[in-house]
Amino acid sequence: MLSPILDGTLRVALAALIWGIAYPLTKLALAGVPPIFLGFLRFLLAGAVFMAASRSLPLQGVAPEDRKGFFKLAFWGAFLLILGMNFGLIWAPGIAASVLSGTPPLFTVILAAIYLGEKMRPVQFVSIGIALAGLAILGNDITSTTGLARWQMWVGCLLTMIPQFAWAMYGITGKQLSNKYHWRLVCRDTFSIGALMLMPFAMIEIFIKGLGIWNLQSVLILIYLAIMNSVVTYSLWNSALKKIPVSLASFLIYLQPVSGAILSYFLFEEKFGLKGACGTLLIFAALSLVIVPPKTSSVANQT
Q: Are 242 and 303 in contact (CB under 8 A)?
A: yes
Question: What's the rounded Cα separation, in Å, for the pair 225 and 60?
Answer: 25
Task: Average pLDDT across each block of 10 residues of the chain; the chain has 303 residues. List them in order.
Answer: 84 89 91 96 96 94 94 95 92 77 72 73 79 73 63 81 87 80 90 97 96 95 95 87 76 75 76 74 73 51 37
Cα–Cα dist 86/78, whole Å: 11
Q: State which amino acid sits at residue 240.
A: A
Alpha-carbon distance of 269 to 94, in angstroms, equals: 10
Which residues does 68 contact at the CB level (< 8 Å), separation at least 6? none
Q: Is the dihedral of CA 298, 134, 86, 11 positive or negative?
A: negative
Residue pair 243/183 in contact by the 8 Å Cβ criterion:
no
Rounded Cα gap, residues 274 and 281, in angstroms: 11
For residue 154, give Cα distances in angstroms to 53, 57, 161, 200.
41, 41, 11, 29
